[in-house]
Amino acid sequence: MRPLRPPLIALWLLERFGDRYRKEALAGDFIEQFSARGSRTWVWIQVLRAIALHFSSFVGESTDSDPGQPPEESPPRQRRLSKYWREYRGALAFLLFFAGFRSAWADWVYVPTGSMNPTILEGDRLLIDKHVYGLRVPFSLVHLTQGENPRRGDIVTLDSPADGTLLLKRVIAVPGDVVTLDQEHLIVNGVPAEYEPGDSRELRELVAATRRSDPEVLRESGAVPAHDVLLLPRRRAPSTYGPVVVPKELYFVLGDNRDNSADSRYIGLIPRRNIVGKATRILFSLDPDRHGLPRAGRLFEPVR
């Protein structure tokens, strides 16, 4: 068996986390192990024990196992940290669980822009189902389960591949679809969308700045599930796109406000892993034109 040659990382960890007593005691033990031609397993056991004792004394749970650092002789700063840990660890655990739940299971988002008018308005608070498209590792885009695939017509939250901004858009085309925009007219897999006048009452819900742009509401159906879209004749936006075959694991998304939306016409097709969740319900809505007063008729309304 080769003589013991402690790995440098193990010695660094021991130096970093081991207390003075343990490092002095282990000095003699190392000499004996060298003479006995010991194994590296023994080294790592000692390192892990040192790390465990370091953190247990930090939280005030196992300081009696460290004869060189009794609790009553701990520095004042360490005693304060230990006290804070005992008092607030429950709250910290709750906050971590709550943040993880919002990151991976369900969340609510505030809508600051009108890119999804008239379906979603500025000031809406939306409930987002995040696990429907697969459970993810909290605070990441790594999926633990496959979940459902986004479907045409779903309103989804996504991380923009351009700058990482969280966006809210409608899925228009899924992998394998052929999508075209021809002068604002949508065509999916050769099926042209049909348009008819939408509900003009929705115009009254728009913020004043949008109403001054002479908006027009149309009902779009056929190529995708029926929903209302908004056109702003005074604004210039790309009205022609494609035809493009949507590749595997990519999606084509648009805003319902076709003339005021940073969507796939600008930022490109959206990778499957960037789609975070599905908007399911409007929890409530605060009108920015009325100093944040609640909007009537938008309490716990399902997203269309």
**Cβ(133)–Cβ(149) below 8 Å:** yes
pLDDT at 299 over 60: yes
Reading the block at residue 237, the tokens are 């936006």
pTM: 0.69
pLDDT at 150 over 70: yes
Strand order in the sheet with 216-221: 194-197, 216-221, 227-231
Nearby residues of 42 by Cβ (< 8 Å), 6 or more positions away: 4, 33
Q: What confidence score (pLDDT) does residue 40 get?
A: 53
Q: What confidence score (pLDDT) does residue 144 get?
A: 75
Output 18 or 203, whichever has higher pLDDT. Answer: 203
User: DSSP string of 157-212?
Assistant: EEE-TTT--EEEEEEEE-TT-EEEEETTEEEETTEEPEEEE--GGGGGGS-HHHHT
Over residues 100-121, the mean pLDDT reads: 85
Task: Look up residue 63 and give its DSSP letter.
Answer: G
Over residues 88-98, the mean pLDDT reads: 69
- CA 128 to CA 73: how far, in whole Å? 51
Could you report the per-residue pLDDT of 223-252, keeping only the tens digit for each? 999 999 999 988 888 889 989 999 999 999
Residue % of the chain over a pLDDT of 90: 50
* Residue that is written with structure tokens 């969740």 in the block: 277
- CA 169 to CA 255: how far, in whole Å? 5
Could you report the per-residue pLDDT of 26-43, keeping only the tens digit for each? 555 554 554 454 455 556
Nearest to 123 by CA among 110, 138, 139: 110
Output 54 or 263, whichever has higher pLDDT. Answer: 263
pLDDT at 17 over 90: no
**Among this protein's residues, is 221 annotated catalytic?**
no
Helix (H/G/I), strand (E/B), else coil: 31: helix
pLDDT at 2 over 50: no
Reported as half-sphere exposure (CB side, CA atoms, 13 A), residue 64 has a value of 1
Catalytic residue among 57, 82, 130, 169: 169
pLDDT band at 285 (very low <50, low <70, confident <90, very high): very high
Catalytic residue among 115, 261, 264, 285: 115
Could you report the per-residue pLDDT of 258-267, keeping only the tens digit for each? 999 999 999 9
Q: What confidence score (pLDDT) does residue 235 get?
A: 85
Q: Which residues are bridge partners to 293 per DSSP?
A: 287
Q: What confidence score (pLDDT) does residue 102 get?
A: 67
**Among this protein's residues, is 285 annotated catalytic?**
no
CATH 2.10.109.10 in the chain is located at 105-302
- CA 238 to CA 135: how far, in whole Å? 35
Reported as half-sphere exposure (CB side, CA atoms, 13 A), residue 112 has a value of 3
pLDDT at 58 over 60: no
* Residue that is written with structure tokens 């319900």 in the block: 281
Assigned CATH class of 105-302: mainly beta
Q: Mean pLDDT across the chain, nearest whole number?
A: 80
Over residues 44-51, the mean pLDDT reads: 63
